[in-house]
Amino acid sequence: MKDMTKKEKGNSAENYANKFLKRAGYKIIKRNFNCKTGEIDIIACDRQTAEIVFVEVRFREFGIDAAIDSVNHSKQKRIIRASTYFLLTNPEFAESFIRYDIIALSKNDKKWVIDHIKDAFRNW
């Protein structure tokens, strides 16, 4: 991954996270949702809990902890604002239970390392 641009690395990580969620039984609703308040990498439905899940995908070459730590309070607020807009503009999901997950990725020796943190932060 060293010869890839930052955007290409991010896209590769999002593609891997998308496949990971599908294999785990999630239904992907939308990828790369953008609005004036922010963006959400993946919006999915957890079929086990029927929750709408707003997923932030983070890739860091230097480990999972760095990826998780990069979703700071400011980033969380932007994700929450974007998710609120998504729910307002998609009324079929307005009454759904929601949660915010982080998928943290790293890649060592061509092997993906993944950590899926469910309910990583809340909309207080």
The mean pLDDT value for 70-91 works out to 94
Beta bridge partners of 54: 43, 100
Flag whether pLDDT at 1 surpasses 60. no
User: Is 3.40.1350.10 the CATH number for 6-121?
Assistant: yes
Q: According to the model, what pLDDT value does residue 41 have? A: 96
Q: How many CB atoms lie within 10 A of CB 71?
A: 19
Nearest to 41 by CA among 11, 62, 73, 8: 11
Q: According to the model, what pLDDT value does residue 81 have? A: 96
The mean pLDDT value for 72-77 works out to 92
Domain borders along the chain are 6-121
- Phi/psi for 72 (5° steps) reads -80, 180
Q: According to the model, what pLDDT value does residue 91 have? A: 94
Integer Cα distance of 81 and 107 in angstroms = 30
Which are the contacts of 106, defined by CB distance < 8 A and separation ≥ 6?
59, 60, 61, 62, 63, 64, 67, 112, 113
Q: According to the model, what pLDDT value does residue 23 have? A: 97
Q: What is the pLDDT of residues 86-117, one digit of tens each?
A: 999 999 998 999 999 999 988 777 788 899 99
Q: What is the pLDDT of residues 20-74, one digit of tens each?
A: 999 999 999 999 999 999 999 999 999 999 999 999 999 877 666 767 778 889 9
Q: According to the model, what pLDDT value does residue 124 have? A: 54
